[in-house]
Chain A
Amino acid sequence: MTREKAQLKPGVLPPFQALIDAHWRDVARLARAMAGPVDGDDAAQRAWEKAYAAYPKLTSAKNLRSWLLTITARCATDVHRARKPQRPLDEAPPVAVEGPEATDFPDPELWRAVNQLPERQRFAVTLKYVGDLDHHGVAAALDTTPAASRRLVSDALATLRSKLGVDDD
């Protein structure tokens, strides 16, 4: 018994169920915020399948939450892109996401405004705030630099402020 207790060193991978229990809500919220309610659920499910497949090969148990959210972001991007014609990223026009009436949601005004942001800004701002990632995490998830992430988030916040008529700088 003592011998087995001694084997529980920090750094070993926790049981996958612990990740699900701790993070499934964040994964689901982020996927929906990025890709909309319908595609978002599909993206979240795919993200969990990818994470489950890759999990035993992970060499570190650090930053598992960022790891999961990065996979989620990639799946949300893929699922969402598959639905519209391909264009260079930064030229992409705003793509409103479809789904249930936004009035059913806790903050419908904000939900609508976020959905109407240009795609890249929406991804960055939702990763930053819904995903609660820092700019390094956002940048990793979007294959860009922290400086670009900062700019995207800042542009998104400016658009949201003007659209929502809030001035809280």
Chain B
Amino acid sequence: MTDLESRLNRLTTPDLKPPTFPDADVAYTLHDTPIGTLLLAIAGGRVVASSFGDEETMTTRLARAVSPRVLRQPRPLDDVRRQLDEYLAGSRHTFDLEVDLALATPFQRLVLNDLPDHTRYGATTTYGTVASDIDKPKAARAVGTALGANPVCVVLPCHRVVGANGALTGYAGGLEAKRFLLNLEAKG
């Protein structure tokens, strides 16, 4: 490449302007919380993700499951962020949000959909109990796996489900995060 060609390659002007868009099919933002960074996403007014997963993996899954028109837009998530912050500060016990489990498999949906009804703020339940609640009493282990894949963490309270002996077992955001959430709810 000649000198003129490399000068042409670099030809630019200052203050390039990034594009702007109307509300996306899937809007997402990264939200810092005391339990770690959550990727929050909303589609058609419903929360499709509240996840500890990384940005590339999560947006790729959303592009595939919901729409490829996924944009980083914090504004459509203002209400979700506010409710999460209130909950994490201990001033909110239930979420007033609609959830869409587009990222979940049919079995995960079965387990996660009614979780707010099968659990209550400040109390824990067990994988076996949740399995019985969905009429699959032998599926405690599969229930554990489905809860571990919860794409809408915190809002759908999979952290309230623990082992039969009371052990915290696992959590997508780490056991520290699960302990934080259970302690938070115990205080309320």
Contact = CB atoms under 8 A, between A and B. Distances in A.
Interface of A: 1, 3-4, 7-8, 12-18, 20, 24-25, 27-29, 32-33, 37, 41, 44-45, 48-49, 52, 55-56, 100, 104-107, 110-111, 114, 125-126, 128-130, 132, 157, 160-161, 164, 166, 168-169
Interface residues of B, number: 41
Given A14-B68, A24-B16, 10 more contacts: A12-B68, A15-B62, A16-B69, A20-B71, A29-B13, A33-B11, A48-B19, A104-B14, A157-B5, A160-B4
A32 B5 contact: no
A14 B13 contact: no
Interface in B96-155: 103, 105, 145, 148-149
Contacts, number: 124
Interface of B: 2-5, 7-14, 16-21, 24-26, 28, 56, 59-65, 67-72, 103, 105, 145, 148-149
A25 B56 CA distance: 20
A150 to B, nearest CB: 14
15 contacts: A7-B61, A7-B64, A7-B65, A15-B26, A15-B62, A16-B70, A20-B71, A28-B18, A29-B16, A32-B13, A41-B17, A104-B14, A105-B14, A106-B10, A126-B11
Given A8-B60, A160-B4, A168-B4, A55 B68 contact: yes
Contacts of A14: 60, 63, 68
Nearest to A19: B68
B11, B18, B26, B64, most chain A CB atoms within 10 A: B11
Given A166-B3, A168-B4, A17 B72 contact: yes
A20 B18 contact: yes
A24 B12 CA distance: 13
7 tightest Cβ-Cβ pairs between the two chains A and B? A129-B8, A15-B70, A48-B19, A13-B68, A15-B59, A28-B16, A1-B149
Given A13-B63, A16-B69, A4 B4 contact: no
Nearest to B69: A16
Nearest to A105: B13
